Amino acid sequence: MRYFLRRLTQAAFLLVGVSILTFLFSTLAPGNYFDEMRLNPQISPETAAALRAQYQLDRPLQVRYARWVNSLAHGELGFSFANNSPVAPLLWVRARNTLLLTLTATLISWALALTLGIWSAATLGRLPDRALSWATAALLVIPDLVLALGLLILAVRSGWFPAGGMSSVGIESFSPVQKFRDVAWHMALPVSALVLSAFPILVRHVRGAVAEVLEAPFLRAAASYGIRRRTLLYKYALRAAANPLISLFGFSVGALLSGSLLVEAVMSWPGLGPLLLEAILARDLYVVIGGVLCSTVFLVAGNFLADTLMYWADPRIRTGAPAK
């Protein structure tokens, strides 16, 4: 229990740190949302100044931070100037969509990475392993942006997949099954872009970890007892190789979040990415801060999940013995 408590405090400190950091950055910003109004001749400088005062942008940093924390306590996360509404509801809709995309991509890429990685480690140096090494190397040299755009061109030219968005027009009138199929059809492209850019690295790590374990004497002994290969690989080897892979899981969440920001913008998936982009272009301060914080929460959640898995998988942590 102390293990979890410590992890939770760490996570809380991280979130506070990130929020302070983004606020610090925001003071570096020359100009704000209302400065853009100066270009509009219909708004007098006095009005702009009054608006600035109304939203307390003329107050010092610590006051603004305190007010922001206060609004966080009310579940608002500050105020979006461009949308004229509290940030939290805006963020919530988008975050759900990002989560849908990222979670699906995480599940698929790990499923692929585990099966292919173990297969590769089991056939180390032989044809399947070599073919997979080449394939992952090829995917590694293609950057996400290039991959996402390439898939998009493919989709548009072949017409197999929609070119963007999350649902077809008139989805409200669909039955639940139709809705599910429609969203899945729209998700296929962004998810495959994410999976293709994330899983090669994962496969390499799985292969490395499992191959190292397969050398271990206890596994050779188990093999000589005549234990089935499948059991050997998926039960004994994977269990022993799990530790580094679980901590990699935490990292992979962060990478997939970064990747999905880009993929969402390219494929116009209504997630956090496009929202953040609009907010940056409009200088909508609190939305940017909210978006960054939201992604940190996801990341922290991913890491927490990894810690929980670790707790379950590694008895040394449970008994409080020093882990390797």
Give min distance, CB of 130 to other proteins, in A: 16
Tokens of 184: 């899945």
Residue 203 or 232: the one with the smaller Cβ distance to other proteins is 203
For other proteins, the closer of residues 120 and 295 by Cβ is 295
The residues binding other proteins (CB under 8 A) are 14, 17-18, 21-22, 25-26, 28-31, 137, 140-146, 149-150, 152-153, 156-157, 163, 197, 201, 204-205, 248, 251-252, 254-255, 257-259, 261-262, 265-266, 276-277, 279-281, 283, 288-289, 291-292, 295-296, 299-300
Specify the residue for token string 């292919």.
116
Helix axes 144-158, 176-214, angle to 10 degrees: 140
Least distance from other proteins to the Cβ atom of residue 104, Å: 17
Residue 286, number of CB atoms within 10 A of its CB: 25
Please, what is the minimum distance in Å from the beta carbon of residue 6 to other proteins? 15
Q: What DSSP element (H or E) covers 200?
A: helix 176-214
**Shortest distance, position 199 Cβ to other proteins, whole Å:** 12
Cβ 196 to other proteins, closest distance in Å?
13
CB-wise, 240 or 265, nearer to other proteins? 265
Instruction: Tell the smallest beta-carbon distance from residue 264 to other proteins (Å).
Output: 11
CA 195 to chain centre: 12
- Of 156 and 227, which CB lies nearer to other proteins in the complex structure? 156
- CB nearer other proteins, residue 171 or residue 281: 281
CA dihedral 125, 128, 130, 133 (to 10 degrees): -120
Q: What angle, rounded to 10 degrees, do the helices at 87-122 and 272-282 form?
A: 130
Question: Which of 25/160 has CB closer to other proteins?
Answer: 25
Which of 17, 315 has the CB closer to other proteins? Answer: 17
Give the other-Cβ count within 10 Å of 263's Cβ.
Answer: 29
3-state secondary structure of 123: coil
Percent helix, strand, coil in the chain (nearest 5)?
80, 0, 20
Rounding to the nearest 10 degrees, give the CA dihedral for residues 31, 36, 38, 43: -130
Nearest to 300 by CA among 2, 6, 14, 4: 14
Min CB(203)–other proteins separation in Å: 10
